[in-house]
Amino acid sequence: MIPKAPFGRTGHMSTRVIFGAAALGRVTQEEADRTLDVLLQYGINHIDTAASYGEAEDRIGPWMPRYRKEFFLATKTGERTYEKAKEQIHRSLERMRVDSVDLIQLHALIDPGEWKVAMGPGGALEAAIEAREQGLTRFIGVTGHEISIAAMHQLSLNRFDFDSILLPYNYLIMKNPVYAAGFEAVEKICKQRKVAIQTIKSLARAPWGDKPRARACWYEPWEEQADIDLAVGYVLSRPGIFLNSTGDIFVLPKLLDAANRFEAGPAEATMEKLVAEREAIPLFR
């Protein structure tokens, strides 16, 4: 089974691989239910979804009457104002057929203008705090992509005592010295405050570019099991961080298999060889 670790200061022991439910955005309920079987097979006990992930929340809904207690359940609102975020949070609860979630996150909070709105008077943060006060969630987090997100997360953590953050982490992006420095800085803050660190894009090999999208994820993923083993091993070899799984249900079993067999991270030379031979390209520059 995939090992567990404390999810920040929440008191929950989450599997180090968190199911990224973006993978359910465009699948049938039958496909979603088969995915649940895979999650249970590997002991995954944490689901991360969002209001904007297509039909993902609707696909999770039928699982909840039987399995709600089995999962730490997280969702996200991408709205920036109090009223719209409040409405979206309640809609997410309805779609997933639950009275509450464990974590509500402010989604993709990167743009400085949107950040000011969400964090200011009448902003989405107020809706998340109200949801916590009303028992609709227990914890509040913040997420984002792009090279600048580590610095934005530092601003967010200075503004509010978030329980979790989410940001990219893979070998290629950590070769960017600006991003790596930002990641190290925000990781230090999170460790001091016991804030959970979730990471995304572990299997990102390259942007699709002009290629037709053969997978549901918006990046071209690693496909071969040996390559996935290395990519997953790189992430899991960093203590204290979580790996949010890929956005494609057909690649997911390979990722979980890699995590289940993980023992030690790959050497730098091994990752360099992989990147060179497969002509990997960073998603964010």
Tens of pLDDT, residue by residue over 68-119, are 999 999 999 999 999 999 999 999 999 999 999 999 999 999 999 999 999 9
**Contacts of 11 by beta carbon, 8 Å cutoff, 6+ apart:** none
Among candidate residues 68, 132, 62, 82, the one with its CA nearest the CA of residue 104: 132
Asked whether the predicted pLDDT for residue 285 surpasses 90, the reply is no
Q: Classify 80 as helix, strand or coil.
A: coil
How many residues are present in the chain? Answer: 285
In whole angstroms, what separates CA 190 from the centre of its chain? 16
Among candidate residues 67, 69, 123, 77, the one with its CA nearest the CA of residue 104: 77
Residue 231 inside a domain? The answer is yes
Helices 252-261 and 225-236: crossing angle, nearest 10°?
60
What pLDDT, on the 0 to 100 scale, is given for residue 190?
Answer: 98
Residue 170 inside a domain? The answer is yes
Mean pLDDT of the 48-66 span: 98
% of the chain at pLDDT higher than 70: 100
Q: What is the mean pLDDT of the chain?
A: 97
Q: Which two tokens stand for residue 169?
A: 């982490």
Among candidate residues 70, 75, 134, the one with its CA nearest the CA of residue 101: 75
Tens of pLDDT, residue by residue over 2-50, are 999 999 999 999 999 999 999 999 999 999 999 999 999 999 999 999 9
- Write out the residue range of the structural domain in which residue 203 sits: 4-277
Confidence of residue 166 (pLDDT cuts 50, 70, 90): very high
Tens of pLDDT, residue by residue over 189-244, are 999 999 999 999 999 999 999 889 989 998 999 999 999 999 999 999 999 999 99
CATH code where residue 12 lies: 3.20.20.100
What pLDDT, on the 0 to 100 scale, is given for residue 232?
Answer: 98
Residue 283 inside a domain? The answer is no
Residue 141 inside a domain? The answer is yes
What pLDDT, on the 0 to 100 scale, is given for residue 201?
Answer: 98
Q: Which two tokens stand for residue 241?
A: 């961080």
Residue 212 inside a domain? The answer is yes
- The one-character DSSP state at 22 is G
Mean pLDDT of the 263-267 span: 97
Q: Is 169 exposed, middle or buried (0-12, 13-18, 19+ CB in 10 A)?
A: buried
What residue type is 45 in one-letter code? N
How many domains does the chain fold into?
1
Q: Which two tokens stand for residue 269?
A: 């030379």
In whole angstroms, what separates CA 266 from the centre of its chain? 22
Place of tokens 């690649």: 251
Among candidate residues 22, 15, 7, 102, the one with its CA nearest the CA of residue 59: 22
- The one-character DSSP state at 267 is P
Residue 282 inside a domain? The answer is no
* Residues 94, 22: Cα–Cα separation, whole Å: 18
Is the backbone of residue 146 left (phi > 0), alpha (psi -120 to 50) or beta? Answer: left
Residue 202 inside a domain? The answer is yes
Confidence of residue 1 (pLDDT cuts 50, 70, 90): confident
Contact call for residues 243 and 16 (beta carbons, < 8 A): yes
